[in-house]
Amino acid sequence: MNMHVIFFTLLAVAMDAAVAATAPAVEYPARPVRMVVTFTAGGTPDAIARIVVGQMERQLGQSFVVDNRAGANGIIGTDIVAKAAPDGYTLLHVTGSLVINPRLYRTLPYDVFRDLEPVTNIVLGDGYLLLVHPSVPAQSVMELVALAKNKPLSYGTPGIGNTLHLATELFNVRAGTQLLHVPYKGVAPALNSLLAGETQVIFIPPTIAVQHVKTGKARALGFTGSKRWSFMPEVPTIMEAGVPDFEITGSWHGWLAPAKTPPALIARIHAEAKKALQVPRVRDFLVAGGYEPDGSTPEEFRKFLKKESARYAEAVRAAGIKPE
């Protein structure tokens, strides 16, 4: 073969390789993204996930499918994501139950820090509202404490071992009460049980509680945060109301992906989520619900998860909950 032909053939091959190496990868997302939410539709995790991914749909021009997989305090949904392909098309929206479950169950079908990759912390909660059914005669936190010491009262939660369960059990410890736990499969059914008078007490994120307080279907007695909630300044903090050493800043809501998801995809999802959290419509919705938009980096979120894991280990011990 002519040497000139060989030279130009090799040059063409080299140029094609260079172009291929510098060509952009397939744009992400090229198809709908599945967001697994570990609690039922209509609850706080569902509401927060939907408003953020709704904004991301606008930014990316691609749909996000919210897949509510409730059950076992988030274990079912988390396991689905832990075993999904690490391609950026299956994500997890989860609460503090993620780091609580390893303290409650001797065995889990996944390892939080081995099988999942942190993406970002979406929001941090200011605290929880303590609500009672209107039939409960207590008009203050201490009146509720006195009543609960002389009359059996029950409280609902989204399930055994979640943040709301631990918050109420810590309240029992600090206040010297024995409120009876009634677990449900999600925040919405737990709240509905209070509204129907099936249970009498609930600790709940403000997001879905405010309207019921305003209409008189529930009564707010206290707030668990370090300061009064700005949207209900008339409601005292629980420590302020008389229960010592009881302060809970509220739940967080974070996103994770399957382990081994490429760092470039993790960075892209984080960047778009952080951008969505800065949109006034999204931010106002979250703040009104008692949450502060976060958007921390994947590494910051990983450190936060390890810190939370240690904190909840202490809370589980204080509540006297034994691993199953």
Please report, for the domain that includes residue 259, its CATH number.
3.40.190.150
Query: Which pLDDT value is given to residue 2?
Result: 46
Spatial neighbors of 255 by CB under 8 A, at least 6 apart, are: 91, 92, 93, 94, 118, 119, 120, 121, 122, 269, 273
Q: If you compute the radius of gyration of the chain from its CA atoms, what whole number of angstroms results? A: 24
Dist CA 179 CA 167 (whole Å): 12
Query: Which pLDDT value is given to residue 206?
Result: 82
Query: The dihedral of CA 200, 206, 209, 215: what is its sign?
Result: positive
Per-residue pLDDT tens over the stretch 250-301: 789 999 999 999 999 999 999 999 999 999 999 999 988 778 999 999 999 9
Query: Which pLDDT value is given to residue 158?
Result: 87
* Residue 26 located in a structural domain: no
Give the long-range contacts of residues 50-58, CB within 8 A, separation 24 or more: 51/282, 51/285, 51/286, 52/122, 52/273, 52/276, 52/277, 52/282, 55/276, 55/279, 55/281, 55/282, 56/272, 56/273, 56/276
Same domain for 85 and 184 = no
Residue type, 247: E
DSSP 237: B
Query: Which pLDDT value is given to residue 20?
Result: 37
Same domain for 209 and 134 = yes
- Give yes or no for residue 7 having a pLDDT over 50: no
Per-residue pLDDT tens over the stretch 109-165: 999 999 999 999 999 988 999 999 999 999 999 999 999 999 999 999 988 777 898
The SS3 of residue 123 is strand
Q: What are phi and psi of 64, to 5 degrees?
A: -120, 130
Same domain for 82 and 43 = yes
Same domain for 301 and 233 = no
Query: Which pLDDT value is given to residue 12?
Result: 42
- Residue that is written with structure tokens 């736990």 in the block: 181
- Give yes or no for residue 11 having a pLDDT over 70: no
Same domain for 300 and 211 = no
Confidence of residue 18 (pLDDT cuts 50, 70, 90): very low
| Domain end (from 177, 210, 241) | 241
pTM: 0.74
Per-residue pLDDT tens over the stretch 218-230: 999 999 998 998 8
- Give yes or no for residue 100 having a pLDDT over 70: yes
Dist CA 55 CA 177 (whole Å): 43
* Domain count for the chain: 2
Q: For the chain, what percent of residues have pLDDT higher than 70?
A: 92
Is pLDDT larger for residue 235 or for residue 162? 235
* Residue 10 located in a structural domain: no
Query: Which pLDDT value is given to residue 186?
Result: 85
Same domain for 256 and 202 = no
Same domain for 73 and 113 = yes
Query: Which pLDDT value is given to residue 37?
Result: 98
| Domain end (from 221, 241, 261) | 241
Spatial neighbors of 109 by CB under 8 A, at least 6 apart, are: 75, 79, 82
* Residue 146 located in a structural domain: yes
Q: For the chain, what percent of residues have pLDDT higher than 90?
A: 70
Same domain for 257 and 160 = no
- Give yes or no for residue 306 having a pLDDT over 60: yes
* Residue 66 located in a structural domain: yes
* Residue 22 located in a structural domain: no
Same domain for 139 and 114 = no
Confidence of residue 46 (pLDDT cuts 50, 70, 90): very high
Same domain for 193 and 161 = yes
User: What are the structure tokens assigned to 160, written together?
Assistant: 């055994």
Same domain for 134 and 154 = yes
- Give yes or no for residue 168 having a pLDDT over 80: yes
Instruction: Give me the half-sphere count of Cα atoms (radius 13 Å) on the Cβ side of residue 51.
Output: 23
Query: Which pLDDT value is given to residue 286?
Result: 93
Query: Which pLDDT value is given to residue 27?
Result: 87
Confidence of residue 26 (pLDDT cuts 50, 70, 90): low
User: Which range marks the domain in which residue 153 is found?
Assistant: 129-241
* Residue 285 located in a structural domain: yes
Same domain for 228 and 301 = no
* Residue 28 located in a structural domain: no
Q: Mean of the pLDDT values across residues 296-321?
A: 88
* Residue 264 located in a structural domain: yes
| Domain end (from 185, 212, 241) | 241
Query: Which pLDDT value is given to residue 139?
Result: 98
- Give yes or no for residue 14 having a pLDDT over 60: no
Dist CA 248 CA 107 (whole Å): 28
CATH of the domain at 171: 3.40.190.10
Q: Which of 161, 167, 118, 162 has its CA nearest to residue 304?
A: 118
Is 44 within 8 Å of 75 (Cβ atoms)?
A: no
